[in-house]
Amino acid sequence: GENVEQHPSTLSVQEGDSAVIKCTYSDSASNYFPWYKQELGKRPQLIIDIRSNVGEKKDQRIAVTLNKTAKHFSLHITETQPEDSAVYFCAAMGYRNSGYALNFGKGTSLLVTP
């Protein structure tokens, strides 16, 4: 089955700096890679996703890159702000048993200090 590794587990940056979170996956058939943000005490929410037919996607300060050959994808946050502080989860969508399911990484706790 799919195995998603996520690094680092914790990340501390100063406001205005960039943050990068990296994930690798094992199933070459995985074709959809979402990123979720979970603020303290709240539910995970999708912030950006990328499909296997593109290599990069941007949405304002957030970007995701995908390297299918190497089976890794990364989240890039530029000009970080204190409200970016949260736990970020990467995931890879693969076919399991008789349906699709997301396999999540273990999360990265990002702290942005003013």
- Shortest gap between Cβ of 101 and other proteins (angstroms)? 6
- Site for other proteins (CB under 8 A): which residue of 13, 22, 26, 32? 32
> Hey, which residues between 38 and 77 contact other proteins (CB under 8 A)?
42-46, 49, 51
How wide is the angle at C-alpha 93 spanned by C-alphas 109 and 98, nearest 5°? Answer: 135
Whole-number Å distance between alpha carbons of 10 and 21: 10
Q: How far is CA 38 from the centre of its chain?
A: 11
Verify binding: residue 34, other proteins, rule CB under 8 A: yes
Q: Rule CB under 8 A: which residues touch other proteins?
A: 31-32, 34, 36, 42-46, 49, 51, 87, 89, 93, 95-104, 106-107
